[in-house]
Amino acid sequence: MAFKVIKTDGRARRGVLETVHGTVQTPLFMNVGTSAAIKGGVAPDDLKQIGCQVELSNTYHLHVRPGEDLVYKCGGLQGFMNWDRPILTDSGGFQVFSLAAIRSIKEEGVHFNSHIDGAKIFMSPEISMQIQSKLASTIAMAFDECPSSVADKSYIKQSCDRTYRWLERCKTEMARLNGLDETINKNQMLFGIGQGGVYTDLRKEHMKRVSDLDLDGYAIGGLAVGETNEVMYDVVSEVEPYMPVEKPRYLMGVGTPVDILECVERGVDMFDCVMPSRNARHGNLFTSYGHINLNNNKYFWDDGPIDPECDCPVCRTYSKAYIRHLFKAREMLPMRLCVIHNLYFYNKLMADIREAIEQGRFAEFKKERVAIYSQRI
């Protein structure tokens, strides 16, 4: 297992990540299937058709329902959901701090109540690693505290220190788990997460410390949670020089096509976001000429595809008029079709980004695409 940067273009990187479940080309967008399924009725075989390289599932959601023991019994997430390519699991940290009712954060871990049934749950670095080991994902994420990015600086500082101590515990526990006979994926990778809110000095210091732990990859966490885009881009710019060049860099929960272009330019390799699938379910679609909403009356008679430039299975088959009608008729099919289209759009954008970097024309490519994607037509 290794990551290799095969070409750089400015700070943008074209990389290859070898994993036990196959090779991944970066920059990369991971397609989000929270509870071990993509929303909108999209199945794993659909994902393959639209160029998805890595599926992402949520440890918190799977822990509260159905529980990691069932997933383990079914052969890990790959067996459970019938997806044989790489999977990244988050650590549960973000959801514990955003969805659940927190009871207390202690050095040992976090006591909270499930958002499903209020059940008391305790999660710690060790427990998060144990759950992710049973989920048997390709890449596990460290269990971190995710305070508001604009929280008080002294709180963020304290929180960063604890997240660092938790990361050391994650690393130790993951090494132990990978050595057990009963572990499904004994080559499970662990990515560390740098925090620090909007405070670039804390961000740099924290990233520097976590980098010393020599993990399989590094993430920037706790962004895209309310700060402006400019602040987010600045934080990425400032922290990037402190991320090891020989490891993949993952910006968690980001973002729009413009965000992705801006952050690839700043040296990020991996992204994930629920936005393309969530937007799709409401008829909000990305196209090669800008953002459209299919519910608009002007598409009633439009028998052309969502995007004439798009080669996705939906654009090659169905008309805007048909899909719009199905939304109005409250059918499920239009959600599936639109999620497939939007995820194809994202996966194709990443392929185009990779090509532009390979050809040393990323800056120009980025400028052109940002201009198009900023339009709503």
- Tell me, residue by residue from 64 to 103, as one string, x for binding to a second copy by CB under 8 A and - for no binding: -xx---x--xx-----xxx---------------------
DSSP of 174-207, one letter per residue? HHHHHT-TT-S-TT-EEEEEE--TT-HHHHHHHH
Which of 303, 355, 364, 368 is the binder for a second copy (CB under 8 A)? 303
The residue (of 266 and 336) whose beta carbon lies closer to a second copy is 336
DSSP-derived 3-state class of residue 87:
strand
Q: Is 303 tagged catalytic?
A: no
Q: Which residues contact 152 (CB under 8 A, 6 or more apart)?
A: none
Residue 311 tokens, joined: 């080669």
Is 282 near a second copy (CB under 8 A)?
A: no
36 within 8 A of 81, measured Cβ to Cβ: yes
Catalytic residue of the set 9, 90, 269, 307 = 90
Q: Which of 326, 343, 356, 357 binds a second copy (CB under 8 A)?
A: 326
Residue closer to a second copy, measured from CB, 61 or 354? 61
| Touching a second copy, residues 17-36 (CB under 8 A) | 35-36
Q: How far is the CB of 66 from a second copy (least distance, A)?
A: 4
Q: How far is CA 159 from CA 65, 145, 329, in A?
A: 28, 7, 49
Which one of 101, 332, 371, 377 is in contact with a second copy (CB under 8 A)? 332
The least CB distance from residue 325 to a second copy, in Å, is 4
CA dihedral 204, 205, 208, 209 (to 10 degrees): -150
210 vs 70: CA distance, rounded Å: 33
Angle at 337 between CA 223 and CA 305, to 5 degrees: 105
- The answer to whether 272 is a known catalytic residue is yes
Question: Residue 119, interface with a second copy (CB under 8 A)?
Answer: no
Site residues (vs a second copy, CB under 8 A): 35-43, 45, 61, 65-66, 70, 73-74, 80-82, 300-301, 303, 317-319, 321-322, 325-326, 328-329, 331-333, 335-337
Task: Write out the catalytic residue numbers.
Answer: 90, 272
